[in-house]
């Protein structure tokens, strides 16, 4: 039944995408819109192929992903460490919860001038902004999951001699795995969006340039087909991560274990 419903949903999604593509092509060729700013599907397809075969778009994408992964790993680790300390001390919890609420309201773009003053011009600035985009929503999810855990599990863990870090890894983490995955998913999405925006503003670093800078260059040259091609790549990466990473992890963990 589940597989049949999944196939039905997939078929509906594909039909919807086909309708959108056909509608876009018809609108672009109708003369009702400016083809410069509303390029046809074929023009976007040609720009996509040209981007990978002639303009090294793959290198831009890989560079962005390398920055994203580094920032994502650092942000997740820091969020986990700080949130774990919150479960050991109520005072630390109250302070860190306040810090999280404040910092989560600050847009990453607004921190670029400060980050440039601290780290100069380079990859560290972008990674810092990515970490900022990850750590606070991730911390919210972890704190929410830890606070909502059944106290019976915690007390049973203490009976078996678990305390401190062992209590966190032996009780809190397994019991809140679904919440943690949701937090990582939220942090990934915010970090990915923030990275693209920062690259469009910040430009290149000494080590390379990302897909955000690629979009900015296309915008400067009024190459809208190239911009839409880059957006398609960004969307595809997001879909791949969602369906081939997060959903696979969920199926093999929280769903398999009956936690959702």
Residue 153, pLDDT > 80, answer no
pLDDT digits (tens, 9 = 90+) for 242-259: 888 887 777 777 666 655
Q: If you average pLDDT over every residue of the chain, what do you get?
A: 81
Cβ within 8 Å of residue 83, ≥6 positions away: 96, 139, 142, 143, 146
Residue 162, pLDDT > 70, answer no
The listed range with the strongest mean pLDDT (115-124, 170-179, 204-213) is: 115-124
The listed range with the strongest mean pLDDT (34-38, 44-48, 203-207) is: 44-48
Higher pLDDT, 161 or 6: 6
Terminal alpha carbon distance of the chain: 18
Residue 198, pLDDT > 60, answer yes
Cβ within 8 Å of residue 188, ≥6 positions away: 72, 134, 241, 246
Cβ within 8 Å of residue 200, ≥6 positions away: 212, 213, 215, 216
Rounded (5°) CA angle 209-67-251: 130
Q: What local confidence, expressed as pLDDT, does residue 32 receive?
A: 82
Radius of gyration for the alpha carbons in the chain, expressed in angstroms and rounded = 22
Q: Contact at 8 Å (CB) between 198 and 126?
A: yes
* DSSP-based three-state secondary structure for 3: helix
Q: What local confidence, expressed as pLDDT, does residue 219 receive?
A: 86
Q: What percent of the chain has pLDDT over 90?
A: 6
pLDDT band, very low/low/confident/very high, at 228 (cuts 50, 70, 90): very high
Residue 35, pLDDT > 80, answer no
Q: What local confidence, expressed as pLDDT, does residue 188 receive?
A: 85
Residue 56, pLDDT > 70, answer yes
pLDDT digits (tens, 9 = 90+) for 69-85: 998 899 988 988 888 88
81 vs 73: CA distance, rounded Å: 12
Q: What local confidence, expressed as pLDDT, does residue 16 receive?
A: 92
Q: What local confidence, expressed as pLDDT, does residue 160 receive?
A: 65
Q: Contact at 8 Å (CB) between 64 and 209?
A: no
Q: Is the dihedral of CA 175, 179, 185, 190 positive or negative?
A: negative
Query: Whole-model pTM?
Result: 0.78
Q: Contact at 8 Å (CB) between 191 and 129?
A: no
Higher pLDDT, 115 or 169: 115
Q: What local confidence, expressed as pLDDT, does residue 161 receive?
A: 64
The whole-number average pLDDT for the span 183-188 is 82
The whole-number average pLDDT for the span 113-118 is 85
Q: Map out the domains of the chain with their CATH numbers.
A: 49-255 (1.10.3720.10)
The whole-number average pLDDT for the span 218-232 is 89
Higher pLDDT, 68 or 158: 68
Residue 230, pLDDT > 60, answer yes
């Amino acid at each position: 039944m589940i597989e049949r419903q999944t196939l039905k949903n997939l078929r509906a999604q594909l039909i919807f995408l086909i309708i959108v593509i056909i509608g876009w092509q018809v609108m672009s060729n109708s003369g009702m819109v400016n083809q410069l700013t509303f390029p046809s599907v074929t023009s976007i397809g040609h720009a996509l192929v040209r981007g990978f075969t002639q303009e090294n778009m793959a290198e831009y994408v890989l560079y962005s992903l390398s920055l994203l992964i580094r920032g994502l790993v650092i942000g997740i680790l820091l969020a986990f460490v700080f949130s774990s300390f919150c479960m050991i001390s109520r005072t630390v919890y109250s302070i860190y919860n306040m810090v999280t609420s404040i910092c989560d309201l600050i847009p990453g773009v607004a921190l670029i001038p400060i980050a440039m003053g601290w780290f100069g011009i380079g990859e560290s600035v972008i990674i810092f902004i990515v970490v900022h985009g990850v750590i606070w929503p991730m911390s919210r999810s972890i704190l929410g999951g830890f606070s909502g855990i059944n106290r019976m599990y915690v007390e049973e863990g203490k009976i078996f001699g678990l305390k401190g870090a062992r209590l966190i890894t032996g009780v809190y983490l397994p019991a809140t795995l679904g919440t943690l995955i949701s937090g990582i998913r939220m942090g990934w999405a915010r970090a990915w969006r923030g990275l693209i925006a920062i690259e469009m503003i910040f430009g290149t670093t000494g080590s390379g340039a990302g897909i955000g800078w690629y979009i900015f260059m296309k915008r400067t040259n009024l190459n809208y087909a190239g911009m839409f091609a880059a957006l398609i790549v960004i969307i595809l990466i997001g879909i791949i991560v969602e369906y081939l990473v997060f959903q696979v992890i969920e199926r093999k963990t929280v769903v398999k274990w009956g936690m959702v």
